[in-house]
Amino acid sequence: MENENSFVKKTVIRIVLLFIGFFAVLSCMQCVQKYVVPEESDPNLLLQTGPVKYHEPGNTVVVGPAPKQDVEPLNSHEEKLLTSLRMGCGDDMLEVQGEYCSVLKETCEEWMSPEDTFRCKRFKKPSTCMSHIDYKRFCIDRYEFPNKKGTQPTVNVTWDDAQKSCNVQGKRLCKASEWTFACQGKDWKPYPYGFERNSSACRIDLGLAVPANKNSSSPSGSYDKCISDFGVYDLTGNVDEWVESDVGSASWLKGGWWGNLRNRCGQDATTKEHGKSYLNVQVGFRCCADLSK
């Protein structure tokens, strides 16, 4: 008899626990529906604001991203800056990350003129990768050194002095491939602004209008269309920029200056003839850095 009573008690307890568990699960599912970010929510909202508390109608407190209409959206360049700040590039550099092609086929469909087969007016879309793809992630200065908007770029500097100037700031000269990718963007564009040359977008194609032996660069950031998809300014034109070769430490120049030059991103648009002691009024630089872990 005692065993029967014990069995009945245990059975009743099990049934009660099952009911409690059922209602607990049901309640938890309602919580998840209430507190999980809805699928239609803007994923960038959490990047912008982080989880917050806000009030729904009826004064119900909800944890999650604030409603879209209550948050002033960031423009694309503000988003890049915010991401860089959080990912370790600091407030004076931008993060560049994505797939880089080391051998890119770029087909020119139209030259600037029949006689000028040095400058391409329009490239075929899209560019074609002819090699393996590398994943790159690094930091780069937004502007040419001294990396300040509205300031004249530093010129007449040798490769060695440029490297030292970057080192003092805990940075280094950009590798050629880093500079190229920061210019091309994830779509592998020939020009930072697209596939068609725009003589008014950057300080380029000035020809004999300005002297080549006099500093005719513009203050950094003067051309608001001369910007890559990563938010980097003045990569083509204005002043040529020192970079370091990916293999060894050869002194190369990328981007060209204000004259009638190639002024584009590609690997083949690189000047490799000048040694590390070379300097000129058209030659400047910008810095890169490894991303903080």
For the chain, list the domains and their CATH numbers.
Answer: 95-289 (3.90.1580.10)
**Interatomic CA distance for residues 213 and 283, integer angstroms:** 11
Q: What is the mean pLDDT of residues 169-176?
A: 97
Q: SS3 for 113-144, per residue?
A: CCCCCCCEEEECCCCEECCCEEEEEEEEECCC
Q: What is the mean pLDDT of the chain?
A: 81
At 197 the pLDDT is 98
pLDDT score recorded for residue 208: 73
34 vs 29, 31, 48, 56, 74, CA distance in Å? 9, 5, 21, 11, 27
Distance from C-alpha of 178 to C-alpha of 274, rounded to nearest angstrom? 20
User: How large is the average pLDDT for residues 225-235?
Assistant: 98
pLDDT value of position 80: 52
Q: What is the pLDDT of residue 6?
A: 57
pLDDT at 25 over 50: no
DSSP collapsed to 3 states, 46-76: HHHHCCEEEEECCCEEEEECCCHHHCCCCCH
Band of pLDDT at residue 63, cut at 50, 70 and 90: very low
Closest CA to 176 of 228, 232, 244, 241: 244
For strands 133-141 and 60-64, give the pairing: unpaired
